Structure 1
Amino acid sequence: MKRPVFKNLQLLRLHWRRGTLTYLLALLIIGVLALLSHYLVQSIVNQQEASARVVNLAGRQRMLSQRITLFAGQLLAEKRNQSITLYPGEYLDAIATMKKVHQGLMHGSLSLEIPAPESAAIHKIFTSPPINLDQRLQAFFQLADSIVDESLPLTARQQAYQALSTMARYDILNALDALVLQFQKDSEAAIAKLQQYNRLSLMGMLITLLLEALFIFRPLLLSLYRREKQYLLLLRKMDAEIAHRVSFQTFNDPLTGLPNRISMLEKIQTCITLAQQNGSSLVVISVGLDRFKDINNSLGHDKGDELLIGIGERLQGLVQQYHGFLGRITGDEFAIVLDQRKENLELVQLMRQLLQSIAEPFEGESFCIHVTASLGLACYADDGANARSLLMHANQAMRIAKDEGGSCFRFFQPIMTSKMTRRIKLDQELRLAMSDCAQLMLFYQPKVDLRDGRIAGVEALLRWHHPQQGMISPAEFIPIAEDSGLIVELGDWVLVRAFEQMSWWQQQGFTVDVAINISAKQLLRRNISERVLSLTQQLEVDPRHVQLEITENNLMDNMSRILPQLQALQQYGFTLAIDDFGTGHSSLSRLRDLPVKVLKIDRSFVINALRDQKDEQLVEAIIGIGHTLNRTVIAEGIETPEQMALLQQLGCEEGQGFLFAKPMSAEQLEALLHKGRIDLSSKEEMA
């Protein structure tokens, strides 16, 4: 019979040693398994965190590609409008950042805290067809760099921008989506592997160490579960945030946060459906800020954006009082929708409130802006049966209000559509007429010395003989050319034809001073003075016989930018004149400092001078100012002997109008140039 172990000290020591060694071995196994599990779990968790950062970086690549495309469009727009500003460093920074992120995603990066990808599928996305993300991005970077390459012509840079925009919109986004999807698949596979390992590890510990293993691994499993749950929550949060951001950018204006054009069209269509069901009506108001481009050019786009945000807040507060909603359509244009049709008197009051609200001074940081707006109104169902037609007709009415001087409102009328259609058609046909020598021509109207009848010079006047409509008034097609930007090419065409005619007259023995109208947009080009001088040198025309006329409003609105060009033209010998003088807002100090030699009194004052004493006093004052400043004064629009007699009495030097001669072709003018003068006594006898 064996003795109990606890009574045998030697056996007790042996049992204690064996038990201790077994327990220590169990603890060692538990420790090794715990360390191994911790290492594997931590590595997989780190991999998930790196994958999350990769997904974030891929999303950043998407935003960077869109931002680069946006900057490229702005740079080319500035280049095309010839208003070159300081090159923004953000564009190059965005390209450099995108390259850095791309290299990090492809090869790993310590600074970005992402390892090099080990998945063959991810390597294939970067380097192999059909995706080949690395090749696409290198092509994208090459296009982005070529857009700011000054050695390339503008057309090549515009083509590069089109390719850049297409690649950013389709190729890169699709490739990045494929990359993110593959990372997510690898992440899900890692999570699945981790979950499988956890189950096997738990089973092994339960079998080998039973309850002891549970006390060791339970906190670890709970921690792992929490991390996995947090990671899944993070992924869901990221997906929700991206979906919300995409939805917001799709239906909202990113600057003001207001509904954009797409959203407004949907809202208007919904209101139309409700109006059809309820038998009610709908009002759409288009709001356009007047001369907003001048604010951007003078104060900068940042101040312009602040103004747009402030105007949006003002309009939003007012619109909510009428239970309507507001959206930003594009640029400086907003739209207001009222789901109930008001009486005309209420609508007029609302329009006036809108005008007054916008006209209040807008004070920002270190600046104060006064801005006005033009409003157009269209009603459902009188002015349109769907959202697009209502918004378009309201916008057309707003455009008419702008054309009439701004700071007013107009209700839509069907004739406005025909006017807009005609403007668009004439714009296209005027571009075609530029290449058709039979349509555009120059007529010439003599300027007469009112003291002795001598022909002091002629004014070159552009005429358009349309093949179907006949002669189209310059008062109609010149504003169209101004709005479309075609006035620069058209003005250059006039300069070339007028100088060619002067050269021909010089060969025939005639020395004629020719006045040529020049637009402010031509003067805003940096090289206009050199261009005009080069033309006169090529055609052997003396600049002293060339008079360049610019209207008073255009001159004063762009004084700071075109004054250097005017000074250069004066130094080259050209004579400068202010056309339509009296209709603008010149100050005597500005007039004194301008390098102009001639003031042309607007024809409206001349026509009304005999009927309105105030207009007569204005004409007398203009002549007095001109003489005081040692300027030559020319009166336009003289049609009667009585007007001529009044101007002679007031001391006006030269006159121009139908009384002396109508605009005529160069061939018809030559006969008059042979005489050299017009008999003023015969004109006086006509009275």
Structure 2
Amino acid sequence: MAIKPKWYADTSALKQHWRTGTVTYLIALSIIALLSLFSHYLVQSIVQKQEATARVVNQAGRQRMLSQRITRFGGEMLLPIERQSTPQLQKEYIAAINNMAEVHQALVNGSARLQIPTSDSIVINQLFHHNPINLDKQVTDFITTAKQLADTQLSQETRQNALIQLRLAANSKLLNSLDILVNQYQRESEQTVYKLQNYNRLSLFGMFLTLFLEALFIFRPLLLNLFRREQQYHRLLAEMESEISDRIHFIAFHDPLTELPNRLSLLERIKTAIQAVEQNQSHLVVISIGLDRFKDINNSLGHDQGDDLLMAIASRLAATAHEHNGVAARIAGDEFVLFLHNKVKTLDLMRILRQLKLSIIQPLELSKRTVQIGASLGIAVFPDDGVQAEELLLHANQAMRVAKTDGGNAFRFFQPTMTVNMARKMKLEQELRLAILDNQLELFYQPKIRLTTGEITGVEALIRWHHPDEGMLSPAEFIPIAEDSGLIVDLGDWVLVEALRQASVWHKQQIMIDIAINVSVKQLLRRNVSDRICALSEQMAINTHYIQLEITENNMMENLPRIIDQLEQLQNSGFAIAIDDFGTGHSSLASLRDLPINVLKIDRSFVTQAMEDDKDAQIVRAIVEMGHSLNKQIIAEGIETTEQMYLLQNFNCDEGQGYLFSKPVSARLITPLLEQHMIQISATEAPRQHGTNML
């Protein structure tokens, strides 16, 4: 189920909402900023003008003081020096005159140094330049007269007349004119203050008007927009809650990748169907479907391509289920279920199973590659194989697991013994975990013989389990369990350490023989396992040339790209690498030529049949000749009769092992045999007891 896009998922609508809100907000900020700047510059201008007016009034008032000071100093200038108030009188008098002249020019024309601006008042200009005041002329004449008084080259009479004119001007007309000027400046200052008050009233009115306009045209739309957004948000939440609820319900009962019903949904449908058919005694069929070698698809093409394959298979299963009014579901990973809740006859069921297999095996195009995949099917029928939904699903899955164990690409009907077998496997898995910790395991050793001389060349370490209740268990039963559960890694590590420890003991006893140790591919897939094996050998003071590591052919070839570096490192460190069960896998001549291997071990099945089937004998001969041509050592497993030994001798096979020479025994029992270094081969056949070369 896919969620349909709503209006709030429209990116253009969301962008338009964002633009509208942003532009409105920026306009409001701009208006507020302009008003703030205008108010600031208006007040700043008026304040600066008031400051300038205050300075002008001060300077104008100072002119009165300077005129009085010049008049007083002028009177002293005509007295003898000893009667003058200060020896610096002449200098101070001239400074006062210059100061008055500078201030006068500043008042008339402005002065940057005194920070006095040029007056733009018409009345002030008239006071300075026009009658009846003409203050500019009065001050200029006053300064000129004062300079005459300071000129000592003039006659005493001239200087006396100048003093009289100064006193007359300072005490009457000039003082009155300066008072008029100061009063005019003060009046204009008061007018400026009055204008400032008017400006403040106007500014206050403008602020109220601006606030009203902002509230009407800016903040009101913003508030309305926010209100609409809130309403939209609530509607959005309501819609999303409904959609999320639907989606959660869908996810709870469907597989997110294939959108098929999941295990929970399937169980509910089976329960409903069981309740419906209990009254008419109909049959229900549950078919568990497990894809074969799906991990290889993931490992070789990647998980994305694996998902594509699962979706394609799901589509095919859904079509088959629809055709037969059934239900297809994905349980987990590469496992599916087809549930048929209509009455199905045996012949119809067989036809459906064949149709399923043909549908699944149809080629698929993945990453420009054509891929085919098989499936294992397990069938459980209601009510024969269970009356509960969980029971039917479990039994169908168990039958599917048996089909996988039997080689895959097949179907199996549920049998009660399958439950017993599954229960035993689970029991042994739990007990095997404890066996590793409780020292219930032991290594047995089977000698390898040079077929031309009977010389013992080495031994193979084989694991045995002394079960506390069941006695000695066959590796054929618990090794597959260890492989499936992942315990094979811990089990393999225990075998490796124990075998190397025993090799160290024998070497210290001067029993210098090779020891072959079975290594699981899962061990080699771990990082730096080669470093660990080398470190253990060095720690136990074992020459690596005496250690042979055996890997089964199938496991090696299936995982070769991932373990080749580890194998090369081990071979470079002196270990011999052997392919175990050779002939049962998919090795090619090219791979044998380039692989870092030293030994080929012919699988026991070929040796057993060689005396009875000429084709098997020819296969053994071909393996020996091919191995020798590639400079590989050849070992034959499972030799149980002298005829088999003679045949292998005729084929020039290098070494052999089997019950003809010795069954696997404990280290304590095989040590005396190893000390002899030789086995006298009897012409009598050994008992036909089959050993199992596992770890």
TM-score range, shorter chain: 0.5 to 0.7
Question: Residue 641 of structure 1 contacts residue 686 of structure 1 at CA under 8 Å; is this kept in 2?
Answer: no
Matching of residues 582-621 of structure 1 within 5 Å: 582-621=583-622
Question: Residue 258 of structure 1 contacts residue 327 of structure 1 at CA under 8 Å; is this kept in 2?
Answer: yes
CA distance in 2 between counterparts of 1:659 and 1:237 reads: 80
| Counterpart in the other structure of 1:306 | 308
Quick one: which amino acid aligns to residue 307 of structure 1?
L
Question: Residue 441 of structure 1 contacts residue 462 of structure 1 at CA under 8 Å; is this kept in 2?
Answer: yes
Residues 661 and 47 of structure 1, relative CA distance in 2, 3 Å threshold: farther
Question: Residue 446 of structure 1 contacts residue 455 of structure 1 at CA under 8 Å; is this kept in 2?
Answer: yes
| Counterpart in the other structure of 1:647 | 648
Residues 361 and 576 of structure 1, relative CA distance in 2, 3 Å threshold: same
- Corresponding residue SS for 1:278: coil
Question: Deviations 1:171-190 (Å, cap 9, x if unpaired)?
Answer: xxxxxxxxxxxxxxxxxxxx
CA distance in 2 between counterparts of 1:488 and 1:344 reads: 44
CA distance in 2 between counterparts of 1:407 and 1:484 reads: 22
Question: Residue 457 of structure 1 contacts residue 513 of structure 1 at CA under 8 Å; is this kept in 2?
Answer: yes
Question: Residue 599 of structure 1 contacts residue 626 of structure 1 at CA under 8 Å; is this kept in 2?
Answer: yes
Tell whether 2:682 aligns with 1:502.
no
| Counterpart in the other structure of 2:532 | 531
Kindly state the Cα deviation for residue 395 of structure 1 after the two structures are TM-superposed.
Answer: 0.6
Tell whether 2:488 aligns with 1:487.
yes
CA distance in 2 between counterparts of 1:341 and 1:587 reads: 50
Residues 443 and 48 of structure 1, relative CA distance in 2, 3 Å threshold: farther
Matching of residues 427-576 of structure 1 within 5 Å: 427-437=429-439, 439-576=440-577
CA distance in 2 between counterparts of 1:645 and 1:441 reads: 33
Quick one: which amino acid aligns to residue 349 of structure 1?
R
Question: Residue 448 of structure 2 contacts residue 655 of structure 2 at CA under 8 Å; is this kept in 1?
Answer: yes
CA distance in 1 between counterparts of 2:482 and 2:532 reads: 20
CA distance in 1 between counterparts of 2:404 and 2:323 reads: 26
- Corresponding residue SS for 1:579: strand
Quick one: which amino acid aligns to residue 627 of structure 2?
G
| Counterpart in the other structure of 1:238 | 240
Kindly state the Cα deviation for residue 265 of structure 1 after the two structures are TM-superposed.
Answer: 0.6
| Counterpart in the other structure of 2:251 | 249
Kindly state the Cα deviation for residue 382 of structure 1 after the two structures are TM-superposed.
Answer: 0.6
Residues 608 and 365 of structure 1, relative CA distance in 2, 3 Å threshold: closer
Question: Deviations 1:85-122 (Å, cap 9, x if unpaired)?
Answer: xxxxxxxxxxxxxxxxxxxxxxxxxxxxxxxxxxxxxx
* 2:226 alignment partner, one of 9, 27, 46: 46
CA distance in 2 between counterparts of 1:684 and 1:664 reads: 19
Question: Deviations 1:662-682 (Å, cap 9, x if unpaired)?
Answer: 000001111101211111254
- Corresponding residue SS for 1:357: helix
Larger radius of gyration: 2
Question: Residue 452 of structure 1 contacts residue 680 of structure 1 at CA under 8 Å; is this kept in 2?
Answer: no
Question: Deviations 1:46-88 (Å, cap 9, x if unpaired)?
Answer: 2673x6xxxxxxxxxxxxxxxxxxxxxxxxxxxxxxxxxxxxx
| Counterpart in the other structure of 2:428 | 426
CA distance in 1 between counterparts of 2:540 and 2:212 reads: 97
CA distance in 2 between counterparts of 1:240 and 1:47 reads: 23
Kindly state the Cα deviation for residue 476 of structure 1 after the two structures are TM-superposed.
Answer: 1.1
Matching of residues 378-417 of structure 1 within 5 Å: 378-417=380-419
| Counterpart in the other structure of 1:273 | 275
Question: Deviations 1:169-224 (Å, cap 9, x if unpaired)?
Answer: xxxxxxxxxxxxxxxxxxxxxxxxxxxxxxxxxxxxxxxxxxxxxxxxxxxxxxxx
CA distance in 2 between counterparts of 1:647 and 1:343 reads: 55
Residues 669 and 449 of structure 1, relative CA distance in 2, 3 Å threshold: same
Q: Which runs of 5+ in 1 are unaligned?
A: 1-27, 52-227
Kindly state the Cα deviation for residue 369 of structure 1 after the two structures are TM-superposed.
Answer: 2.0
Kindly state the Cα deviation for residue 364 of structure 1 after the two structures are TM-superposed.
Answer: 2.8
Question: Deviations 1:262-291 (Å, cap 9, x if unpaired)?
Answer: 101101111111111332110001111112
Question: Deviations 1:596-629 (Å, cap 9, x if unpaired)?
Answer: 1111111011111111111111111111111111
| Counterpart in the other structure of 1:292 | 294
Kindly state the Cα deviation for residue 528 of structure 1 after the two structures are TM-superposed.
Answer: 1.1
| Counterpart in the other structure of 1:203 | none
CA distance in 2 between counterparts of 1:313 and 1:655 reads: 53
Question: Residue 289 of structure 1 contacts residue 374 of structure 1 at CA under 8 Å; is this kept in 2?
Answer: yes
- Corresponding residue SS for 1:680: coil
Q: Which stretch shifts more, 335-344 or 513-522?
A: 335-344
Question: Deviations 1:305-358 (Å, cap 9, x if unpaired)?
Answer: 111001100111122111111011111111110012423232222212212211
- Corresponding residue SS for 2:313: helix
Quick one: which amino acid aligns to residue 349 of structure 2?
L
Tell whether 2:632 aligns with 1:635.
no
Aligned-pair identity in percent equals 55
Aligned length: 480
| Counterpart in the other structure of 1:156 | none
CA distance in 2 between counterparts of 1:486 and 1:233 reads: 56
CA distance in 2 between counterparts of 1:426 and 1:33 reads: 87
Kindly state the Cα deviation for residue 232 of structure 1 after the two structures are TM-superposed.
Answer: 5.2
CA distance in 2 between counterparts of 1:633 and 1:594 reads: 15
CA distance in 1 between counterparts of 2:473 and 2:682 reads: 34
Q: TM-score, normalised by structure 2?
A: 0.67
Question: Residue 659 of structure 2 contacts residue 686 of structure 2 at CA under 8 Å; is this kept in 1?
Answer: no
CA distance in 2 between counterparts of 1:459 and 1:430 reads: 22
Residues 562 and 48 of structure 1, relative CA distance in 2, 3 Å threshold: farther
| Counterpart in the other structure of 1:183 | none
Residues 536 and 47 of structure 1, relative CA distance in 2, 3 Å threshold: farther
Quick one: which amino acid aligns to residue 396 of structure 1?
Q
CA distance in 1 between counterparts of 2:390 and 2:217 reads: 64
- Corresponding residue SS for 2:278: helix
Quick one: which amino acid aligns to residue 603 of structure 2?
D
- Corresponding residue SS for 1:340: coil
Quick one: which amino acid aligns to residue 566 of structure 1?
L
Question: Residue 640 of structure 2 contacts residue 685 of structure 2 at CA under 8 Å; is this kept in 1?
Answer: no
Quick one: which amino acid aligns to residue 563 of structure 2?
I
Quick one: which amino acid aligns to residue 464 of structure 1?
W
Question: Deviations 1:227-255 (Å, cap 9, x if unpaired)?
Answer: x4x55543332221111111111111110
CA distance in 2 between counterparts of 1:686 and 1:498 reads: 27
Quick one: which amino acid aligns to residue 370 of structure 2?
C
Tell whether 2:675 aligns with 1:679.
no
Question: Residue 286 of structure 2 contacts residue 381 of structure 2 at CA under 8 Å; is this kept in 1?
Answer: yes
Task: Give the alignment's Cα RMSD to 1 decimal.
Answer: 2.2
Q: Which runs of 5+ in 2 are unaligned?
A: 1-207, 689-695
Tell whether 2:374 aligns with 1:372.
yes
Kindly state the Cα deviation for residue 35 of structure 1 after the two structures are TM-superposed.
Answer: 5.4
Kindly state the Cα deviation for residue 45 of structure 1 after the two structures are TM-superposed.
Answer: 4.6
CA distance in 2 between counterparts of 1:410 and 1:659 reads: 39
- Corresponding residue SS for 2:261: coil
- Corresponding residue SS for 1:586: coil
* 2:354 alignment partner, one of 352, 372, 375: 352
| Counterpart in the other structure of 1:96 | none
Kindly state the Cα deviation for residue 496 of structure 1 after the two structures are TM-superposed.
Answer: 0.4
Residues 618 and 48 of structure 1, relative CA distance in 2, 3 Å threshold: farther
Quick one: which amino acid aligns to residue 546 of structure 1?
I
- Corresponding residue SS for 1:550: strand
CA distance in 2 between counterparts of 1:44 and 1:406 reads: 69
CA distance in 2 between counterparts of 1:505 and 1:363 reads: 57
CA distance in 1 between counterparts of 2:454 and 2:480 reads: 34
Question: Residue 640 of structure 2 contacts residue 687 of structure 2 at CA under 8 Å; is this kept in 1?
Answer: no
Quick one: which amino acid aligns to residue 361 of structure 1?
P
Question: Residue 515 of structure 1 contacts residue 546 of structure 1 at CA under 8 Å; is this kept in 2?
Answer: yes
| Counterpart in the other structure of 1:319 | 321
Quick one: which amino acid aligns to residue 381 of structure 1?
P
Quick one: which amino acid aligns to residue 466 of structure 1?
H
CA distance in 2 between counterparts of 1:309 and 1:686 reads: 55
Quick one: which amino acid aligns to residue 437 of structure 2?
S
- Corresponding residue SS for 1:434: helix
CA distance in 2 between counterparts of 1:37 and 1:382 reads: 81
